[in-house]
Structure 1
Amino acid sequence: MLSSHYYNDYAIEAGCDEAGRGCLAGSVFAAAVIFPADYHNADLNDSKQLSARRRYALREVIERDATAWAVGIVTPEEIDHINILNASILAMHRALDKLAVRPQAVIVDGNRFKPYGTLPYTTIVKGDGKYLSIAAASILAKTFRDDYMDELDQKYPQYDWKSNKGYPTRKHREAISRYGTTPYHRMSFNLLGGTGELNLDFKE
């Protein structure tokens, strides 16, 4: 069972996570989730540990049970302008902006964040496998982004985005080499570089 809270002094705690940071194409998505202080759910876990069917089933549970939830988006153009790390943090800030309930504290998956107003925050490595609200945020960010990439795949089926969701698979990179880029590709990335691992060659 994941922990329900990190902060003992704040009843309204928002968990944040992002999806799509390592992709060659598409927006980066982030989510923020607030659960009731005494919330428990043994089924919630890091989205990467769940099947797609399970993620979508849990998304309905999260949307029903959360005190508040929201999704923030940063576009490929914005990513190219401010770099992917800043874009990921901005997406989380945008999700927090959209919450119907103002949190008193924020917990974030990973080890990088920027202050959100004056709220206390803590970054937690592998937090999506430790805290319910971060796990829920990872599920929302992942499923909403997957829906978005499935829609883009209908416009550009040659890039196989329905399967790879914009990540640098061989088929995706071969399609870039053959067909060129789309308006949804992140032009600040080395789109064809290396061995299939993303080369994070940012423009500052």
Structure 2
Amino acid sequence: MDTLSLPGNWYLFDYGMVISTAPLQEDWDALHRATGLDLRPPSSRYWAGREGFDAGVLSPEAYWSGVLGRPAAEGESARLESLDAAMWSHLNPVAVDVLQTLHGEGANLALLSNMPAGMSRRYEAAATWPGYFSRLFFSGRLGMVKPDPRIFKHVLADLGAAPANIVFIDDNAANIAAAGSLGFQTILHAEGTDLQRELLALRDDF
């Protein structure tokens, strides 16, 4: 059977919409019950402050107070944090299968995610998927978010790898463009992407 990985390469995965799927309607319903607000629309306050939350600029209390439009009550932001983590916890079985294959081949695996610090710590404590990775990079802990080139340069320095030896997999075209401009190999993970086939094609072209 053909291997997916090349020795010496790093495989750098995004989390949301790659390893995880989109939140379910029931997740948004639970958030609606907790806040009294429909937060699913792209115009909602859930999304408006998200970049600052992901970057660690906003504390959980500040972010959720902004979402609610009033100061969060004692314990309220912690409850909303728990619901938020649950929303994004549904795993993409196809991507997990690829991770298992790469891990079994001994590939170098790293993760780079725009994710609040609290959520990342919840997942590290309770989820299984962090165990596939030898390096984890979360925007909320680094104080910068994709597609800022600084976050990719931080990853390069930490891994000690040449950009051409990093395969970056992400669902956001702006993130892919930023990584590609620095010389990373890239795979845009859109709906229906056959990740195994894409990785085999990159391996064969190397």
TM-score (norm 2): 0.31
Higher helix share: 2
